[in-house]
């Protein structure tokens, strides 16, 4: 499995570069890469961000101004593995243990896409995608369709394959005590950073929950 961090956004609402925002003493881009490295997965960065090359290899988009779907396409195009784990750069409360569990689920199911859902919201930027989706995603981008889930669904349908959409809270409730990180609470895991207010609100919360968000101990849950 290969790993990629999606960090190609303009951070227009934040007013400064989200990838370099510091939480618990480390920039978000470094934390996202560490979650992947902690699982023994090589990691690269998606997006038109050559300035982030000091953190990891940067894979530029093949389709300009096409959003995260273009980053996924570019990553799948250079990947040499069947499965590819993607993380967005701006989820500082996402536990490494969950990332490992997501990877393990994808390896066990062999689904072309393994995507978490929390509170009825699909999280397609924190997901595992098969390289077999590449041509379908490429067709969507060439047609001007940039929505991630629309492109992924179309690509999966063209292969006659189903997408593994799973409810995070339901899975967490079914696991035994100790199999899932108790903190931070599940509802916080996908709280991302879009505005300065988001950053101000999340920074103290991340400091309180730092024990549950680092890369250490982030091995797949069996």
pLDDT tens for the 222 residues of the chain, in order: 999 999 965 544 544 478 888 887 889 999 999 999 999 999 999 988 888 999 999 999 999 889 999 999 999 999 999 999 999 998 888 888 899 999 999 999 999 999 999 999 999 999 999 999 999 999 999 999 999 999 999 999 999 999 999 999 988 888 776 777 667 788 888 988 766 676 676 655 554 444 343 433 333 332
**Is residue 99 in some structural domain?**
yes
pLDDT for the residue 210: 46
**Is residue 118 in some structural domain?**
yes
CATH number at residue 51: 3.90.550.10
**Is residue 171 in some structural domain?**
yes
pLDDT for the residue 52: 92
pLDDT for the residue 211: 39
**Is residue 157 in some structural domain?**
yes
pLDDT for the residue 204: 52
pLDDT for the residue 186: 87
**Domain enclosing residue 144, as ranges:** 2-208
**Is residue 218 in some structural domain?**
no
**Is residue 222 in some structural domain?**
no
**Is residue 175 in some structural domain?**
yes
| Rounded Cα–Cα distance for residues 127 and 120 (Å) | 16
pLDDT for the residue 206: 53
User: Domains in the chain: how many in total?
Assistant: 1
Bridge-based pairing of strands 83-88 and 58-59 is unpaired
77 alpha-carbon distance from chain centroid: 17
pLDDT for the residue 222: 27
pLDDT for the residue 205: 52
154 exposed, middle or buried (CB, 10 Å; 0-12, 13-18, 19+)?
A: middle
**Is residue 33 in some structural domain?**
yes
């Amino acid at each position: 499995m290969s790993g990629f961090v999606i960090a190609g956004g303009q951070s227009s609402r934040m007013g400064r570069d989200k990838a370099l925002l510091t939480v618990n003493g480390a920039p978000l881009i470094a934390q996202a890469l560490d979650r992947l490295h902690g699982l023994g997965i090589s990691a690269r960065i998606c997006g038109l961000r050559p300035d982030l090359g000091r953190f990891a290899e940067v894979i530029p988009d093949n389709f300009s101004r096409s959003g995260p779907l273009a980053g996924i396409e570019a990553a799948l195009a250079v990947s040499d593995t069947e499965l590819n784990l993607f993380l967005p750069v701006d989820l500082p409360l996402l536990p490494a243990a969950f990332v490992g569990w997501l990877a393990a689920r994808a390896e066990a199911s062999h689904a072309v896409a393994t995507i978490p859902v929390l509170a009825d919201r699909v999280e397609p930027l924190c997901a595992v995608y098969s390289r077999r989706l590449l041509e379908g995603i490429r067709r969507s981008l060439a047609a001007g369709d940039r929505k991630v889930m629309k492109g992924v669904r179309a690509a999966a349908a063209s292969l006659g394959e189903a997408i593994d959409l799973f409810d995070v809270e339901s899975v967490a409730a079914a696991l035994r005590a100790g199999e899932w990180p108790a903190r931070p609470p599940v509802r916080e895991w996908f709280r991302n950073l879009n505005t300065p207010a988001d950053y101000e609100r999340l920074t103290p919360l991340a400091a309180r929950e730092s024990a549950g968000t680092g890369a250490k101990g982030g091995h797949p849950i069996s």
